[in-house]
Structures are given as C-alpha cells and as structure tokens.
C-alpha cells in the first residue's frame, strides 16, 4: 500500500485542474485536494494565524513571521493532513486506522478517527511521547501499543502491521496526509502578501517540509503568486540523519540508531519521507541544519517570554535553526522568513518546566503575598 508497484518508491498526487480558494481552512483549497466519498471529516483545521515576531526578528537580524500551527484542533499541523487522509479512509470503508507516532500524529489520528467512527490503533515508542500527547490519545480512546525501542522501531512495526491489510495506515508515507499539509504554503502566500525568501521547518520524518514545498510549487494553479522560498529543514543534533547527510554532501540520510533530544516529536533516526524531503531542499536551494538542545530551549524561552508564544521543543527548533542559519550566513539580513511553529507547548509540561526559575516563584500567606507583590513591582 502507498508504494509504487513499479519501483517501490513513494507516491505523489498531481493535479491538472485549476481552481480558486473558497471558504476557510484546509478545505478552502479543495480544488487541489484529493476527493473522498462523502463529506470531509473536518473540525476547522487550518487558517492558522501568521504573526509578525518583532523581538525575535530583532534578535535574528531579519524579518520573521511565525505560522502558529499549535492553534489547530488537536494542537499541531498534523490535523491538516489528518482531515484529508481520514476522509479518504472513511470513503474506502475502513474500520480501523493505524499509526506509529512520536505523539502529535497519535493525538490527531485518534481524534479524527473517532470523529469518523473508526477505531484508532497506535504504536508509540515506550517513554518516548510527551505526557500531554499520550493523555490526548488515551482520552480519545485509542488502542495503544507501547513499543520497546525508538520511534523508528515502532514505525517498522507499523509498516509490517499495515501489510495485514485490515487497517488503514495514517503515517506520513500515506500521501494524502502530505496533500493536506501542503496548505500551509497556500495560507502563507495569501496572508504574507509578498513571497517569503525562506521557510524554516522542523524535520522529523521529513514529510512536512516536502509537503510545504509541494504547496509552493502548486500555488499558481490556485491563482496565488509564484514563490520559490528556500526550504530550511532543522533537526536536533542527536537526531539529525538528514542534516548530517547534508553536511557531508551525501545523497542519503545517515541513520541514527539511538536518536536523542529534548524535542521528542522529532526524535527520529530513520525518516521515511527522506527522498521527498531531499528533493524539496535541493529544488528550493535550501539546506538541512542541526541545533543543540540548549539552543532549542533558548529558542523556546525567547518565543515564550519575548513574543508570548508557547511552543513545544520541536517547534522551537525551527526558530533556533533560524538563529543558527543567520550566524552561518545561510540566511541574509534582507530576508523575509516564515518559521513554521508546528505544535503547541501545552502538551509537553516536562519540557516547559525546564524553562522555569526558582527566583521568580514564592510561597507565602495572604498577608506576606501582598508584601512580595509590592517588592516585585517596585524593583
Ligand atoms: C511538533 O507525531 O512524527 O518532519 O509521529 O510533532 O513531517 O515528521 C511528529 C513530527 C515537527 C516533524 N514538529 O514533522 C509524529 C511525528 C512537530 C511534530 C514534526 C513533528 P515531519
């Protein structure tokens, strides 16, 4: 399933029709989305805010806008792909859905599958998923198998289980997922008013960066302005199969056996969509780069404290990547950069707690509390 019968490669839908955007959200671009039998399984995904980041721009030394994907129904960009793929699954008459996940796909597929009346089955790396994401999947009544090993081990199990044919696979090797996710590019072009020079995206299984690039290439079919931003894919140092390959000039990812990073969403050592992602970065004349965990936490703190935007570590990696790319001279000061902030910070309380500081917290009785407030504001 989802492999080319001739060469075994990844599948990619193409469109010959031209259309124009109508309505809101992902389905605003229905003319360039796969059609399913029956109405789409939708709950308002897409049409997320594109906001200017004044302080983060100053710090980066170029104009920066953020696409707030954490405002999707289940808190990440995954909902864009899920509305399309789950609609197709229901149209096919599937009864159960399956995915391996580092957490956000799990939450999204569980929610959309239940909405469609399908039974969600998840393969999750044991102890590898942020608490809030696991809680979401549980709340939606997903069947959860915690796999001993990494996400990549869970993915291997998912590929084998999908071969059984009894269950509809919803990982991003399913091309319908990426069709929904490409709408990020359409929205950026409509909302920014001028084409961005760079789009910075955190990379795990590497589907999203490929999806967004496909969106930019198809945008003229919708009457949107042509744009060829450089796609910058950011990985965490301890889980950087693509950034490592890029640095060494290799054409294939350098597999990571035991991926490590605070950014659990992108703790992935063998990205399944790598051929599409490599092509996107090559065609757009972009780059893959990597950032350290301290850089990720710093970026998270800047976004939270200077901009009021709470994201998870994987999303903060994109902004950390922009700072790094500016220092490397990869992105110039005249650039107009869109950073895709892929998911909300609310799902990962353990990561958030690393941002806190003892010097700003007090315990006191009501009387003493007033004195402390006085002292703080007069400081
Ligand atoms: C917040 O949920 O792979 O490069 O199983 O949750 O398309 O994989 C999540 C990935 C970036 C990377 N930011 O996107 C999963 C999963 C967040 C994410 C990515 C993920 P891809």
Q: Which domain holds residue 197?
A: 50-75+177-353
| 175 close to 10: Cβ distance less than 8 angstroms | yes
The rounded distance, in Å, linking the Cα atoms of 331 and 44 is 34
Same domain, 139 and 192: no
The predicted pLDDT at position 60 comes to 98
Does residue 8 sit within a domain?
no
Q: Rounded to the nearest 5 degrees, what angle is found at the Cα of 213, between the Cα atoms of 209 and 219? A: 145
Same domain, 269 and 311: yes
The rounded distance, in Å, linking the Cα atoms of 266 and 314 is 6
The predicted pLDDT at position 152 comes to 98
Same domain, 328 and 280: yes
The predicted pLDDT at position 2 comes to 80
Q: Choose the final residue of a domain: 141, 175, 209.
A: 175
Instruction: Give nearest CA residue, ligand 1 atom 9.
Output: 265
Domain tally, the chain: 2
Extended strands (E) in the chain: 50-52, 63-68, 96-100, 119-125, 143-147, 168-169, 198-202, 230-236, 287-291, 336-341
The predicted pLDDT at position 190 comes to 97
The predicted pLDDT at position 95 comes to 96
Does residue 40 sit within a domain?
no
Does residue 32 sit within a domain?
no
Q: What is the CATH number of the domain that holds 85?
A: 3.40.50.1100
The residue length of the chain stands at: 379
* DSSP 8-state secondary structure symbol assigned to residue 229: P
For residue 203, report the distance from its CA to the centre of ligand 1, in Å: 7
Does residue 211 sit within a domain?
yes
For residue 17, report the distance from its CA to the centre of ligand 1, in Å: 30
Enumerate residues lining ligand 1, CB below 6 A.
76, 101-105, 172, 202-208, 265-266, 312, 314-315, 342-343
How many CB atoms lie under 10 A from the CB of residue 5? 6
Does residue 374 sit within a domain?
no
Query: Candidates 205, 207, 263: which one to mutate for ligand 1, based on the most atoms within 8 Å of Cβ?
Result: 205
Same domain, 145 and 248: no
Closest Cα to residue 331, out of 125, 127, 61?
61
Whole-prediction pTM value? 0.96
Same domain, 146 and 246: no
What is the per-residue burial (b if ≥16 Cβ within 10 Å, else e) of 17-34? eeeebeeebbbbbeebbb
The predicted pLDDT at position 197 comes to 98
**Segments of the chain scoring below 50 in pLDDT:** none
């Amino acid at each position: 399933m989802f492999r080319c019968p001739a060469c075994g490669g990844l599948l990619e839908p193409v469109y010959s029709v031209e259309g124009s955007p109508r309505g809101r959200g992902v389905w605003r671009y229905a003319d360039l989305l796969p059609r399913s039998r029956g109405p789409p399984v939708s709950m308002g995904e897409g049409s997320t805010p594109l906001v200017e980041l004044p302080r983060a721009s100053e710090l980066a030394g170029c104009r920066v806008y953020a696409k707030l994907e954490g405002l999707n129904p289940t808190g990440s960009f995954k909902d864009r792909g899920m509305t399309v793929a789950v609609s197709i699954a229901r149209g096919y008459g599937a009864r159960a859905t399956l995915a391996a996940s580092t957490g956000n796909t799990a939450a999204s597929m569980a929610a959309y599958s239940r909405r469609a009346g399908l039974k969600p089955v998840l393969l999750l790396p044991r102890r590898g998923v942020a608490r809030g994401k696991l809680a979401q999947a549980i709340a939606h009544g997903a069947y959860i198998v915690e796999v001993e090993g990494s996400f990549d081990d869970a993915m291997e199990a998912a590929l084998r289980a999908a071969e059984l044919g009894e269950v509809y696979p919803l990982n991003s090797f399913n091309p319908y997922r990426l069709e929904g996710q490409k709408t990020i590019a359409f929205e950026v072009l409509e909302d920014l008013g001028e084409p961005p020079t760079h789009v910075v995206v955190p990379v795990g299984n590497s589907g999203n960066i490929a999806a967004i690039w496909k969106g930019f290439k198809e945008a003229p079919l919708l009457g949107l302005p042509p744009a060829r931003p450089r796609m910058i894919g950011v990985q965490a140092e301890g889980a950087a199969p693509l950034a490592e390959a890029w640095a060494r000039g290799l054409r294939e990812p350098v597999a990571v056996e035991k991926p490590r990073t605070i950014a659990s969403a992108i703790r992935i050592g063998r990205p399944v969509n790598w051929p599409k992602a490599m092509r996107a970065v090559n065609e757009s004349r972009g780059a893959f780069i990597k950032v350290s965990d301290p850089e990720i936490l710093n970026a998270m703190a800047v976004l939270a404290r200077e901009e009021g935007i709470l994201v998870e570590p994987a999303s903060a990696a994109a902004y950390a990547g922009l700072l790094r790319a500016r220092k490397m001279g990869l992105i110039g000061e005249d650039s107009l950069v869109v950073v895709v902030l892929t998911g909300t910070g609310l799902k990962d309380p353990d990561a958030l707690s690393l941002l806190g500081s003892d010097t700003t917290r007090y315990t006191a009785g009501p009387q003493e509390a007033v004195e402390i407030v006085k002292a703080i504001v007069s400081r």
